[in-house]
Amino acid sequence: MSNIMRLLGIRTRNRNDDGYLCKLTLNVDDQVEEPVCSSRDAVVTAGPPTGPVELEYVVDGLPVPPKAFNVEVVRDALRYRARPSDVFVATYPKSGTAWLQRIVWTLLNLDRIDEGVPSLMDTMTRHMSFLELVGRRMVEALPEPRVIKHHLPFWLSPYHPLAKYVVLVRNPFDCVVSFYYHCRAEPSVGLPPGVVTFDDFFERFVEGRVPFGSYFDHVLSWYARRNDSNVLFLHYETLRERPATVTLEIADFLDDGVASRLRGDERLLRYVVDRTSAGCLKTGHLLVSTPSSGRSAAGAVRNMKGRSTVNLTGSGVALVVAGVGLVVPGGSIVGGA
């Protein structure tokens, strides 16, 4: 069990052994009912819930929304073996994934930039496959070098010491608000069973009982690898503040030749930054959609800071945020009290 799971009072159970997926129900007394099907999957809980809570499907410890993902495809995706030439875009949901995808694709296709950026579906299936969505076989069918996106923590990510991993993390306060609105607006994902309000969703987010599991464990797993030569650990907030600087940092990591071209041609660099800006992403994009009102999102963050439920976990959340350096340029914790 990780330190952050202990800090937030989260426990892990393993159930069953024969390889089938199932749903489990936790009751008020924290007793787990025996499932009708079985799997050696981890179920994450955070103490006795206040009522019956149906968990997501869990694949090798990773909660996935069954509406949007085929659980057998996800299980097979985790068997993908990374190649030396692979480039991975690794993020937690709602952390600027689509923005990072666009930047990476553009840098690796600089001579084709005038042809336009592929559609979301083409990006996920043909150019930068979403590993958990399309599965191992579709990714293996792509020509090398492959650019692969996933929402996996380090311990579940396909790994090769020569492959490259571009990691983007976002502060948890804004991430949870964006994640809530995304789940509420996107029928293929939907809110977790039993979740109606933002309060409900926030509790499950802190406990790690949301699609793709614990934000904290995910971020800390990649933070621990931040000094590896094949890992580039980036902050969403820095990308927003200094997009040209971060774009050059990504170019340096991916291809020295591309980085040299951009440094030698300021006009080309500005063109790349403009073509890959957050403003160019379509409204309602699968991975970057936000509430229609920025005021609503900010209000949700302010409101959640004042609730007693947050006070119980606030120190733990702040400790994690400070630990991974998710701070605004001024030095204060983003969204923190």
What residues are labeled active site?
Answer: 151
* Cα distance between residue 222 and residue 226, in whole Å: 6
Of the candidates 219, 187, 192, the one whose C-alpha atom is nearest the C-alpha of residue 58 is: 192
Cα distances (angstroms) measured from residue 35 to each of 15, 67, 69, 193? 9, 20, 21, 17
Conformational region of residue 195, where left means phi above 0, alpha means psi within -120 to 50, and beta covers everything else:
beta
HEC string for 59-105: ECCEEECCCCCCHHHHHHHCCCCCCCCCEEEEECCCCCHHHHHHHHH
Cα distances (angstroms) measured from residue 220 to each of 120, 150, 266, 323? 28, 16, 35, 9
CB distance 168 to 239 below 8 Å: yes
Helix, strand or coil for residue 150? strand
> What is the helix, strand, coil percentage profile of the chain, to 5?
45, 15, 40
Of the candidates 200, 217, 199, the one whose C-alpha atom is nearest the C-alpha of residue 208 is: 217
> What is the 8-class DSSP label of residue 127?
I
Cα distances (angstroms) measured from residue 277 to each of 148, 218, 281? 21, 26, 7
Any alpha helices (H) in the chain, and if so which ranges?
A: 3-7, 71-77, 97-108, 120-122, 131-134, 136-140, 172-185, 198-207, 215-223, 236-241, 243-254, 256-264, 266-275, 294-305, 308-323
